[in-house]
Structures are given as C-alpha cells and as structure tokens.
Chain A
Amino acid sequence: EAQVTQNPRYLITVTGKKLTVTCSQNMNHEYMSWYRQDPGLGLRQIYYSMNVEVTDKGDVPEGYKVSRKEKRNFPLILESPSPNQTSLYFCASSLLSDSSYNEQFFGPGTRLTVL
C-alpha cells in the first residue's frame, strides 16, 4: 500500500530535550516536505527536499532541522524544543512535476506537545 508514515503519532516532551520525528514514504517520491498546523493559521511549510541531500527552508524553519540521506526518509529534528513548537506536524511527499496537478500524499500527522 502506497503510504507516508510518521512516528511517533503523539509525543509529549519538555523544553530543551532533543527529539526526532521520522517520516518515510514507499512511493519513490523525489519530493518530501514538512508542515506544521496551528489553529487559525492553517498548514505552513517548515522544510522541503527535492531529492537526496537537497533540502531547503520553507516558510517557518526556525528551530527545526532536517536531513535527507535516503530517498524514502525525511526526519524532522527539534534540537531544543520550545513550547511554541507545540503543534500538529505533517510530512508529505510527491513526485517532482512541472504540472500544477501534483497530488501530495500526507502522513497521518504527529501531535507534539512541548511543556
């Protein structure tokens, strides 16, 4: 089954304790991206990757790191989480396309609470 998986699905942590949210896709997609969802703000892009070893900042990258060592995996790293990073996080993947129709496949979401 074609899918994007994220782990963990739920996480409660404390300020300053490094954490990693994993994302994996089995569709051989070049493109992967992280979004965060906050009430009243919709989803905003954090980082994206066009392919292995190619990553770039999205709209809200502060406080986050990513890596893309393998095509299927795109982990999100919070080196020193703060309460303002409490949010619902989505990983998404797609092919790279020059067409405006390019469906992105979303993971199930990771609900993170930073105390």
Chain B
Amino acid sequence: AQKITQTQPGMFVQEKEAVTLDCTYDTSDPSYGLFWYKQPSSGEMIFLIYQGSYDQQNATEGRYSLNFQKARKSANLVISASQLGDSAMYFCAMREDAAFGNEKLTFGTGTRLTIIP
C-alpha cells in the first residue's frame, strides 16, 4: 500500500491565487513527521515545511502552511498568493519514528504546479 499519496499529478493556477496541494499518508506509527519539498526545474530539493504528528497547531512558514488533519491522515500544503516562481514539482514525504536508525523519508509521486500569469 502507498504510504504517501499525492493524487494531483499536475495543477494549473492563476498567479496570486491560493493553491492547495493534496497529500494523504498511511502509517501505524503514532509518532511521525510530514515534510513538503519543492523541486524547481533546476532539480534541487528545497525543504519547505514540517509538521509533527503531535503538533497541536498547523505549521506555517511564510506563504506556506500545512493543513494537517490527523484523523483523516492528510497533510495538504497551502500556498497563499501564488507567484510565478512557485512553478515546480512538489513532494510530500513522511518520516516514521519507528524507523530510528534509518532516517528514511518516504515520498509521494509529486504534483507539478504551474502558475499562469
């Protein structure tokens, strides 16, 4: 079974609009962390935001926020006031604490976001 599911292969959004990228996850570990990465066309992986399973509040980092719904096992990334530079591939990833010793991130398949001027 997929541990991280990103159901939107591609999205087109008008500049300055908000966008939500979906991510659902599957784990039986009570302690885990969820990460979002941005991959521009140049290829590097850029860390955006983190949410811990025990965090009471949704994470925010500038224009990025994470809509964390634990009971639904979803961790959607919200980008407010989108900009042309937000056009990139976005990956959701999870680290399970039970995997101590292997800091492995399990990644989703990604969503390619294109911002339209």
A contacts, CB < 8 Å to B: 31, 33, 35, 40-45, 48, 50, 56, 58, 88, 90, 92, 94, 96-104, 106, 108-109, 111
* Residues in chain B near residue A109, CB distance under 8 A: 43-45
Least Cβ–Cβ distance between B53 and chain A, in angstroms: 7
5 closest pairs, A vs B, by CB?
A100-B33, A42-B107, A106-B45, A43-B107, A109-B43
* Residues in chain B near residue A94, CB distance under 8 A: 103
Q: Which chain A residue lies CB-closest to B32?
A: A100
Count of chain B residues near A, Cβ 8 A: 28
* Residues in chain A near residue B100, CB distance under 8 A: 96, 98
B109 interface residue (CB < 8 Å to A) = yes
Taking a contact as CB atoms under 8 Å apart, the answer to whether A100 and B53 are in contact is yes
Q: With A103-B47, A108-B43 in contact, do A50 and B101 touch (Cβ < 8 Å)?
A: yes
A41 to B4 Cα, complex, angstroms = 11
Q: Which chain B residue lies CB-closest to A94?
A: B103
